[in-house]
Chain A
Amino acid sequence: MSLTQNALDEAPFGITLDDIAAFDRKQEANRVQNAPIRDVNSRDFWDFMLEPTLTDDDTAYPADVLEELSGGELN
């Protein structure tokens, strides 16, 4: 879609095409960019959550965290 010179001269609210381009660049920069760790083509999120890790040692699960997880209701 091309704009006529008359339309460009209007600069509604004082906003120009340059302002819009700058806004778009800022929006792009703000985009959340968290790349997945796993290979998404072969493993889904739950594969990731179930896979054994080097730090897997259920017996060494932090006591503080376990206490909070039970919420004082299970003992």
Chain B
Amino acid sequence: MSRRYLLTRAGEALVTLFGVSVVVFLVLRVVPGDEITARLGTDASSLSPTQLASLQAYYGLDKPLVVQLFSWLGNVVTGNLGVSVTSGASVSSLIGDALPVTLELAFLALVIGLTLGISIGVFSARGRDTVRDSAGQAFGLLGLATPNFVLASGIIAVLSTQFGYFPSAGSYVRFFDSPLENLQQEIWPALVLGIALAATIMRTTRSAYLEVAQQDFVRTARGKGLPERRVRWRHILKNALIPIVTITGIQFGYLLGGTVIVEQMFGLPGLGRLVLTAIEQREYAVVQSTVLIIAAAFVLVNMLVDFLYTRIDPRVRFS
């Protein structure tokens, strides 16, 4: 990878992030209501024009949109993500609290998804059109078709009625404070996300595996007398990895921003919930900055995936 390539990618990433921030900024202002109506509800209509003007000045809503956009962006560039008006906390501290929760959740879900997805995918592909293939495919379909909230409700109901246990009864515990307690809280929501992820990965793995398995070099490898296991893992799976890594990268990106429902049901104070409450309260700074961070993570994961391609397949080069 040349330096020129890296610079181009970084430039593209910046343009993407700028685009995202403008879109989020505009969408937030196009939907009806602002921080004032969100806070005062029906009482907002009883404000006198002077009260309204002073509140608008307080929330910075009196300035032209372009000024609002660039003053926010200018602050972001200097590392100031803004302040939450309701709680008075800085947005960076809010994200600092919420990001690790979601990151860990996404990472655990990824581990579960990859382990289950790849093993069931290979298992299914090797017995193509047999009973075990059908079983594997059924898992895939069921995993894709079951909405997160159904699986989450099911797990919560079984745990609480059968085992007298609710995973998030206590306050959230950070991993470095007590790894075991932290895992108890994160593992169940991660399982819910992981199963859905496993279904997608399983289907990709199965089709990629089947495709590679028919190629000449596999026959050659077998002809050389290599043990079947070596053929399976080192030859077929390794060459089937590119689509698997691609789909995993995309899904991981979604996990960073899209764990809202699971966070709600398990009571985890993650990024999804931060954005959701902020949208309800029309906390512009919080929504804009958090979405920007999520988008940046997405871009980063994509770059990582591209980099992984060159590791998996030396034929892939970027210049």
A and B are interacting partners: no
> A-side interface residues toward B, CB under 8 Å?
none
